[in-house]
Amino acid sequence: MKDKFAIIFIVILGIVMYGLTLHGDIGNPTVGEFKDKLDQATNAFELSPERGRYIHIANMADSGVYNLSPEWGAVAYPDVGISKKGKINSYFAPGVAYIVLPFYIIGNKFGLAQVAAFSVEALVSIITLIFIYLIGRRVFSLPKPVAFFTVLIYGFASVSWSYSTTLYQHAFSTFFIVTGFYAVWRFSKNDSKYSWVYASYVWLAYALALSVDYPNAVLMLPVMVYFAISAFPSQKVMGNVSVSIRWAAILTFIVFAFVIGLQFWHNATYYNGWSSLAGELQKYKPTTITSDSLATTTVKEKTAIGFFHEYRIPNGFYVLLFSAERGLFFFSPIFIFSLLGVWHVIKKKTANGVVYIVPLSLIAVNIFLYSSWGDPWGGWAYGPRYLIPSMPWLALFVGVALSYKQKFWKILLACLFFLYSSAIALLGVLTSNVVPPRSEAILLPIKTYNFLHDIPFLLDNKSNSFIYKVYFADKLTLLGYLLSIYVIVLIVVFIMLFMLYNKKDE
Amino acid sequence: MNSFTFKNRYLDVPKRVISYFSPEVWVVILSIIFAVGATTYYYLHGYIIAYGDAESHLNIAKRVVDSLTPGFAQLGGIWLPLPHIFLIPFVYFDFLWKTGLAGSIVSGIAFIISALYIYKLALLLTRHRGASFFASLIFIFNPNILYLQSTPMTEMTLIVFFILSSYYFILFLRNDKKIINLLFAAFFGFCASLSRYDGWALVLMEAGVLFLFYFPYRFKFEAFIEKFLDDDSSDQIQILERKERISGPLSWSRLEGRLIMFCTLAFFGIILWLAWDGLILGDPLYFSHSQFSANSQQQGWLARGELPAYYNIFTSLIYYFVTSAETVGFLVASIAMVGIASFLINKENRYRILILLIAFVPFFFNVITLFLGQSVIFLPGVTPITFDWTLFNVRYGVMMLPVFALFSGYIFYRSGTLGKALVSSLLVLQCLLFFMGFSSVLALEDGRAGLSSFIAKIPDAQGWLEENYDGGLLLTDDYARTISIVRLPIKMQDVIYIGNKPYWEESLIEPEKYAKWIVMQKNDSIWKNLIDDELKQGRLYKYFNKAYTSEDILIFKRIADN
């Protein structure tokens, strides 16, 4: 199997799988359709993050401005704030809304505004899958079946699936980090006339990553440090250190400056100043929410970094990695193999260690950052959604583990773990992301706070899938639909692992 | 692509400056600068005696030389005496006593010596000056230790003796022919055992390690010995010598002789303390179960269901691990843990298990005391928010700082250029996180706002008394910490507290006999004696006017004619 064919297969698989599970429904939702309808579990706007982003898109398409009318503000509640100038905005960074806007406009013409907007997530996820494969093959030097398997792990055996079919920031963040890393790697090879293109892209990816989610400024730092090291390659010459300057990396900073300039303009226009962030807006309570006559605001000063603190790390670390609520290893135990991969990398001590150190740093920064976040659960969510940017790298380290001494028991175990992880991922993407944290679940009639929360939806045939709702709801139970998709995944995985096992002696 | 060459000669000037002093001297210079800087900062911000305990330590030392009934009996029987003895020459001066700077001097000196010996200890393990310097920097730059070294708290005194004893003990393990090192280890262990109770665990562990070191249990495992010795050294003569030592007939007698020699000195402190408590207070174990002991205080938390680690080993481990990791900062703690793992798996390190056993004494001690309910730590993020307090005793975490510093230095030594750059960057980043407030300076926070703090709960009565006190003896229950004596315009000779026999006892019967002022807090000893007892209450009101009243505190002033 040539890489070209593998990539084509990834694209086809991505289109099929994401297509079958994309959240949504027919139509161009209007203000009145959200409350108690579309904002219910197993509907396209079941949670405020997707609502908050979507309504900005709809608002921009309708009125040409980013800030919301009070009616749209009520839809975005509770993740909505108000600037000192009285402009109502959601708390989310604006990048996703701007990027998705053209697709919304096209979809709007066909009565599929919401589906078109959400499909952008699937699109960037498919591109991410391609780059995971390329990194696996070219950077990590993984065998083809293993590189393909890493793609399957990220795409269809992790909760990234649930967030590749709805309007969140995670797919975009991951996309920019993965492609940014690949661009830096290509840039660092210094063997092509396209250095300027790669350098421009790295800056662009960093700026856009910032615009879709502010913490990406920190999350993507390892990639940028790698970029900086590549921009100033050094070598020892007769006892002295000779440092070179690759001007492409420095001059293309203008790309970053331009995009960030736009971000500053946005902040100045819609928030409290050029350096103000969406999360710093004061809380906005729509009149429909309170009995007060007018919208009210809280007075406490908010800061973007105020939610991060070291004392939260122990709990956050536990919640994100091990807990039954959101734990990575609980939802996707296939990632346990990544620890083995990391161990092999450390033991191997390759000369090209930087290509492993950067991903390891990305994972470490991601875990460190969101462990210290006030809400590591990610609100009501399915799995450890804040760790999605780490999942491509974890999947690649699973690949490293599998490519090292390909023993039968290891492949069998990986296969079993994959089956479990994929089933959980599929359950989430087909039903709902509306899973409460434990502290809130115990107050509810259904006291479940992990994927078990979605089982009743499955049994009641309540799905978030656009295709299922429109084409299969009256022909097939949701369980049947789930099993059909699962079988596709299984066949692909078994083929890959069979190929891997048969090639172990090569 | 352009390039420039960074020539070695550019570094000539910095290299010349650096080589002007040896690394040891640089460590001392840096630690002095940081110690003085931190003390100045905390003095100007009024945090030197932020802890209630800080003032108590100053007062204990002060009473030895300057009180109604001066003498060494004032050292009491709960807190170990050595830190107070060190304070005595300084608290003699009222300025140093009242400002707490007496404690800053003692702790500051301990800090500087600790930094130097962390360097030496790291050098012993790595033989790498850069790595050893890095280890000392981890220690010097830590804001928690910088705060504690500016206070009269006793942690710094323990840390310095802990490091010194460990250093000489490991030196002895490396070459057991130099008995003087074992004697030094025992002497500093003796000092540690008279500084804080953690020191008792240290000397016990050292004795245990000494036993393991000489115990000829290995003679049955010849193959194992061969492997063990081969790992340690390639010098055949040394191998034979060590083989003889390990399994030869001399090993028993060496074990016996050296263990007795070590224990005689190292355990002398413990015996002295037991004897002291027995002679002065009538109970050798007074420190462990009197009403003023930590154990008694923990019973209150237990009754309230707020002793989470009590007989829960997992919670005890979590509490102390997280406390120590947050004290050094999670980034540095991560570096150190990699260093510990690396140290453990590297077979070139002689006696690595024994060294780790010594290094982890603070960890074992604190986990066990938490487990047994002898101590309590409340830590934000770990302690349930439903508890009355979520910040208390977190300073215990600093006991692990030398260990984290040491093994951070070790991983620095084991790393290549890229690794060294990464580890150094993480140290810089950790400092930045402390500076930004992302990482809390827990020891300071507890002093400012935790349950350990006095300044967070200074009562109005303190201010009132500062304005109205006009001389005369003042009767107060020092244990209740109703008021701060160092903050009052009063001399220690004018204070009657529980340690002033017979003034205290007589005042509780005839309050007018000595005291002009009486300060009492609800349910303290004075309140129970003079308010709860109606007969005595009548006498109190006969001779005293109630000059100040609040919900919990009453201040009486003797009627002028009486």
Task: Quick: pLDDT tens for A100-115.
Answer: 999 999 999 999 999 9
Same domain as B250, residue B117: yes
Q: Is residue B3 part of a domain?
A: no
pLDDT per residue over A432-479, tens digit each? 999 999 999 988 887 899 999 999 999 999 999 999 999 999 999 999
My answer on whether B498 and B365 are in the same domain is: no
Q: Are residues B432 and B473 in the same domain?
A: no
Residue B508 lies in a domain: yes
Same domain? For B390 and B473 the reply is no
> What is the residue type of A265?
W
| Tally of domains within chain B | 2
Select the residue of B6, B438, B439 nearest A243 (Cβ to Cβ): B6
Q: Is A196 on the interface with B (CB under 8 A)?
A: no
Position A116, amino acid: A
Spatial distance between the Cα atoms of B120 and B170, rounded to a whole number of angstroms:
11
Among B432, B440, B413, smallest CA distance to B325 is for B440
Q: Please tell me whether residues B176 and B280 are part of one structural domain.
A: yes
Out of B448, B471, B493, a domain closes at B448
Give residue B465's domain range: 458-558
Asked if B439 lies within 8 A of A310 by C-beta distance, the reply is: yes
Are residue B86 and residue B206 in the same domain, yes or no? yes
Chain B residue closest to A190 (CA)? Answer: B1
Q: Domain check: are B444 and B466 in the same one?
A: no
Boundary of a domain, candidates B448, B482, B506: B448
Q: Is residue B438 part of a domain?
A: yes
What tens digit of pLDDT does each residue of A267-302 get?
999 999 999 999 888 888 887 655 444 444 444 455
Distance CA A140, CA B346 (A): 28
- What residues in A contact B439, CB-CB < 8 Å? 310
Same domain, B404 and B285: yes
From first CA to last CA, the distance across chain B in angstroms is 95
Residue of B nearest to A306 (CA): B438
Q: If you measure CA to CA, which chain B residue comes closest to A307?
A: B438
Instruction: Find where tokens 């923990």 sit.
Output: B298
- Kindly state whether residues B318 and B424 are assigned to the same domain: yes
Q: Give the mean pLDDT per block of 10 residues along chain B (562 residues).
A: 73 84 95 98 97 96 95 93 97 96 98 98 95 97 98 98 98 93 97 97 96 72 51 52 57 86 96 94 88 83 91 96 96 96 88 94 97 94 91 96 97 90 94 94 96 92 94 92 93 94 93 95 92 91 94 92 58
Q: Kindly state whether residue B320 falls inside one of the protein's structural domains.
A: yes
For residue B400, which of B377, B422, B382 has the smallest C-alpha distance?
B377
Nearest Cα to B273, choosing from B283, B263, B259? B283
Q: Are A384 and A328 in contact (CB under 8 A)?
A: yes
d(CA B64, CA B272): 18
**Neighboring chain B residues of A353 at a CB cutoff of 8 Å:** 418
- Between the alpha carbon of residue A133 and those of residues A3, A7, A10, A391, B545, the distances in Å are 9, 8, 9, 13, 86
B7 touches chain A (CB under 8 A): yes
Distance (Å, whole) CA A105 – CA A61? 7
Retrieve residue B462's tokens.
């303190």
CA–CA distance, B292 with B479 (Å, rounded to integer) = 8
Does residue B10 lie within any of the structural domains?
Answer: no
Q: Sheet containing A240-245: which strands, arranged edge to edge?
A: A234-237, A240-245, B2-6
**CB < 8 Å & 24+ apart, contacts of B297-300:** B297/B376, B298/B373, B298/B374, B298/B375, B298/B376, B299/B373
| Number of Cα atoms under 13 Å in the Cβ half of residue B251 | 19
Burial label for B17, CB within 10 Å (0-12, 13-18, 19+), is: exposed
Same domain, B213 and B341: yes
Residue B16 lies in a domain: no
Same-domain check for residues B260 and B153: yes
In a shared domain, residues B440 and B477? no
pLDDT recorded at residue B10 = 79
Whole-model pTM: value is: 0.87
Measured in angstroms, the CA of B2 and the nearest CA of chain A are apart by 5
DSSP secondary-structure letter at A470?
Answer: I
Looking only at Cα atoms, what is the longest distance across chain B?
96
- pLDDT, one tens digit for every residue, chain A (506 residues): 688 999 999 999 999 999 999 999 998 998 888 888 888 989 999 998 999 999 999 999 989 999 998 888 888 888 899 999 899 999 999 999 999 999 999 999 999 999 999 999 999 999 999 999 999 999 999 999 999 999 999 999 999 999 999 999 999 999 999 999 999 999 998 766 789 999 999 999 999 999 999 999 999 999 999 999 999 988 888 778 888 889 999 999 999 999 999 999 999 999 999 999 998 888 888 876 554 444 444 444 555 566 789 999 999 999 999 999 999 999 999 999 999 999 998 887 776 788 999 999 999 999 999 999 989 999 999 999 999 999 999 999 999 999 887 778 888 899 999 999 999 999 999 999 999 999 999 888 878 999 999 999 999 999 999 999 999 999 999 999 999 999 999 999 988 888 877 765 44
Inter-axis angle of helices B401-414 and B330-345, to 10 degrees?
A: 60
User: What residue of B is the nearest CA neighbor of A237?
Assistant: B5
Residue B261, chain A, CB below 8 Å: the answer is no
Contact between A245 and B2 using a beta-carbon 8 Å cutoff: yes
CB atoms within 10 A of CB B276: 21
Residue B12 falls inside a structural domain: no
Q: How many residues does chain A have?
A: 506
User: Any chain B CB within 8 A of the CB of A242?
Assistant: yes
Task: Note whether B149 and B156 are within 8 A (CB).
Answer: yes
Q: What is the pLDDT of residues A27-56, one digit of tens each?
A: 899 888 888 888 898 999 999 899 999 999
Of A289, A17, A259, residue with least CA distance to A158: A17
Kindly state whether residue B528 falls inside one of the protein's structural domains: yes
Q: Which residues of A172-203 are buried (b: 16+ CB within 10 A; e: fewer)?
A: bbbbbbbbbbbbbbbbbeeeeeebbebbbbbb
The CA distance from B276 to B284, in Å, is: 7
Alpha-carbon Rg for chain A in angstroms: 23
Q: Which of B397, B418, B448 is the last residue of a domain?
A: B448
